Amino acid sequence: MKTLLKCHIGIGKKVQGEVLSANDNFSARYDLDRLKGIFSRPQHKLVGKSYVDKILVLNESKGGVASAWMLYEMCARKMAPKAILFNKANTILAQGASLANLTICDRFIDGDITSLLSSGQRVTVDPMNGLVSIL
Amino acid sequence: MELNKEEKAMASGELGEAVKWAINHQIKVGNFFDAKNFVSVSNVHMMIDPESVGIDGVLFLENLVGMGAKVKIPMITDPRGVDLNYYTPLGQTEEMANIERRTIKACTSMGILMTNTCVNYQTIMAPIFGEHVAYGDTGVVIYSNSVCGARSNYEGGPSALAAGLTGRTPRYGLHLEEKRIPTKKFLVKFKPEELTDWGLLGALIGKISGSYWEVPIIEGINHNPKSDELKHFGASMASYGSIPLFHMIGTTPEAKNYSSKFLNRLDDHIITLDDIISLKSQFGKKGDKIDVVVFAAPQLSIFEMQKVAELCIDKSFKVPVIICTSPQVYSDASRMKLIDQIEKTGAKVLEGTCFYNQYAREIGLANGWKRLMSNSAKIVNILGGYGYEPSLSSMENCIASAVAGEIV
């Protein structure tokens, strides 16, 4: 199994943490109870799980523009993931991560990141070099 | 990214700290998406509701005001989250209203026009073909790109604000011709009749497309859709699939650029009436009790307001009915006595807001609203995550159900 995964250059600082992974999509507005720090959308594969301080690994970002402000607000309250890894990010999540200085990466050359990483694994995310190391 | 002389001056702080923040934010985003340079934009639309922004976002805005931030180009806003003339009855708090007031004050200090609408293409000024803009509401972006032929990415609030301060945006995504080429083809085998049908059709195409970077092209719509129909269609597609652009053969301006030979290379995704019925069946059934009926997402046009008003004649409702429209339409509807006609029933028209960005979770809890009914496929998609059990039906059926207190 590969322990070093390559992706496009991302945004934010180098972080280390525990993976929370699902083959599902993401919107801060549609899917989260941001006050409690959990996934709240009943149909979401991570419903009821806390995303706070996790390395969140999901397929794509979806839905509306609100997530951009919401990421900033979540980070300011320290109720945010440490990083988000997508197969493909949309513009909103990249813009929100830029304002919030939240670590975000996407476009992994090794394949589907939601298959390559499992919940509970520990990883280091290095967005400036486009690398994720499995510890 | 390649920067010209002015952009270098912006990035170094020669044009002020606010502009320095703005362009450096844009450079980070531009690098993420491999933008080579910037493109000038003519105007900006920003989403900035208080629930999303929060107190920390307000402090960020006030800090920019303190740096002397002023927008360089015309800039307007998406719906507010608090109707300051009607918030206590909804269960909204003074704290929420104060975040709203401070947001408005900061925006107006920067020269932003508080239009408070997500239907600016129907009420303020539709963009023209080929016009590069920076718009920040998914429904606005998909309509402007697809129906008008404008060029915009989804610009979240911070990036829209940055575009207002610099007058430009990184040239990536839908500012590039190659990103506007169809990638998925849909063949529609039924005729959408009501706005809800259009919303459901958009939802299915959005779900199947499933990515911001996919561009659906739609065949089989053999009549001319109306603006409100494409409004619901696009807003729903954007909501379910994060799609910012579609082409519709015979309707949208760029569809004719693609030959049959080119389109034949794409697989057909066929959508039938059964698919629509199946999706709709996930949102409530006859006899289900309801707590509130909402018409919003997108805000209602003057034509929709007229239709609601006609449906309200001689009606009495067992559950609250809430309608959200833009300040521009509200003013006209008031002058034409449509607001009076609607509110005579006890229904309430909110001005310049949209229900789902009005602290939907908190007002649901405050009022005991869980089972929400709407004709908007977009709003029923959003509100599941806010603790609602949404149901979906036509405007006529929503009104009849509000009279009965249950889905009819």
Residue B29 lies in a domain: yes
Beta-strand relationship, A103-105 and A83-88: parallel
| Separation CA B405–CA B263 (nearest Å) | 48
Above 90 in pLDDT, residue A78? yes
Asked whether the beta carbons of residue A98 and residue B385 sit closer than 8 angstroms, the reply is no
- Quick one: pLDDT at residue B384? 87
Please list every residue in chain B whose beta carbon sits closer than 8 Å to the beta carbon of residue A45. Answer: none
Above 90 in pLDDT, residue B32? yes
Is A68 near chain B, with CB under 8 Å?
yes
Residue B195 lies in a domain: yes
Please list every residue in chain B whose beta carbon sits closer than 8 Å to the beta carbon of residue A96. Answer: 156, 158
Handedness of CA A6, A9, A15, A17 (dihedral sign): negative
- Quick one: pLDDT at residue A98? 96
Tokens of B319: 């559950």
Residues B309 and B356 in one domain: yes
Residues B78 and B18 in one domain: yes
Q: Reduced to 3 states, what is the DSSP secondary structure of residue A28? A: helix
Residue B19 lies in a domain: yes
Above 90 in pLDDT, residue A1? no
Which 15-54 residues of chain A touch chain B by CB within 8 A?
25, 29-33, 40-44
Structural domains in chain A, sorted by start = 4-134 (3.50.30.10)
Q: How high does pLDDT run on average in chain A?
A: 95
- Quick one: pLDDT at residue A2? 79
CA distance B315 to chain A (A): 34
Please list every residue in chain B whose beta carbon sits closer than 8 Å to the beta carbon of residue A33. Answer: 361, 385
Residues B111 and B199 in one domain: no
Above 80 in pLDDT, residue B369? yes
Q: What is the pLDDT of residues B251-273, one digit of tens each?
A: 999 999 999 999 999 999 999 99
Q: Which residue type occupies B401?
A: S
Is B81 near chain A, with CB under 8 Å?
no
Residues B44 and B173 in one domain: yes
Tokens of B399: 């009104």
CA B162 to chain centre: 20
Residues B244 and B319 in one domain: no
Domain boundary among B177, B204, B226: B177
Q: What is the CATH number of the domain that holds B362?
A: 3.30.499.10
- Quick one: pLDDT at residue A64? 83
- Quick one: pLDDT at residue A129? 97
Above 90 in pLDDT, residue B48? yes
Q: What is the pLDDT of residues B282-329, one digit of tens each?
A: 999 999 999 999 999 999 999 999 999 999 999 999 999 999 999 999
CA A27 to chain centre: 11
Residues B231 and B243 in one domain: yes
Residue B151 lies in a domain: yes
| Separation CA A41–CA A35 (nearest Å) | 14
Residues B319 and B264 in one domain: no
Nearest to A65 among B136, B386, B387 (CB): B136
| Separation CA A85–CA A132 (nearest Å) | 9
Query: SS in 3 state form for chain B?
Result: CCCCHHHHHHHHCCCCHHHHHHHHHHHHHHHHCCCCCEEECCCEEECCCHHHHHHHHHHHHHHHHHCCCCCCCCEEECCECCCCCCCHHHCCCHHHHHHHHHHHHHHHHCCCECCCCCCHHHHCCCCCCCCECEECCHHHHHHHHHHHCCECCECCHHHHHHHHHHCEEECCHHHCHHHHCCCEEEEECCCCCCHHHHHHHHHHHHHHHCCCCCCEEEECCCCCCCHHHHHHHHHHHHHHHCCCCCEECCCCCCHHHCCHHHHCCCCEEEECHHHHHHHHCCCCCCCCECCEEEEEEEEECHHHHHHHHHHHCCCCCCCCEEEEECHHHHHHHHHCCHHHHHHCCCCEEEECECHHHCCHHHHHHHHCCCCEEECCHHHHHHHHHHCCCCEECCHHHHHHHHHHCECC
B114 CB burial (10 A radius; 0-12, 13-18, 19+): middle
Q: Residue B323 is part of which domain span?
A: 292-404
| Separation CA A127–CA B100 (nearest Å) | 35
Q: What is the pLDDT of residues B182-236, one digit of tens each?
A: 999 999 999 999 999 999 999 999 999 999 999 999 999 999 999 999 999 999 9
Number of domains in chain B: 3
Residue B225 lies in a domain: yes
Give the confidence band of A63 by pLDDT, cuts at 50, 70, 90: confident
Q: What is the pLDDT of residues B376-390, one digit of tens each?
A: 999 999 998 888 999
Give the confidence band of A30 by pLDDT, cuts at 50, 70, 90: confident
Residue B120 lies in a domain: yes
- Quick one: pLDDT at residue B296? 98
Q: Report yes or no: B364 and B221 within 8 Å, Cβ to Cβ.
A: no
Q: Reduced to 3 states, what is the DSSP secondary structure of residue A131? A: strand
Is B130 near chain A, with CB under 8 Å?
no
Please list every residue in chain B whose beta carbon sits closer than 8 Å to the beta carbon of residue A43. Answer: 384
Domain boundary among B251, B280, B309: B280
Above 90 in pLDDT, residue A52? yes
- Quick one: pLDDT at residue B101? 98
Identify the bridge partners of residue A33 per DSSP, sorted by sequence position.
A38
Give the pLDDT mean for B392-404.
98
Tokens of B175: 């500012």
Residue B98 lies in a domain: yes
Tokens of B226: 């109306």
Domain boundary among B280, B311, B337: B280
Give the pLDDT mean for B29-54.
97
Residue B285 lies in a domain: no
- Quick one: pLDDT at residue B259? 93
- Quick one: pLDDT at residue B191? 96
- Quick one: pLDDT at residue B50? 95
Residues B155 and B191 in one domain: no
- Quick one: pLDDT at residue B385? 83
> What are the φ/ψ torsions at residue B253 (nearest 5 degrees)?
-70, -30
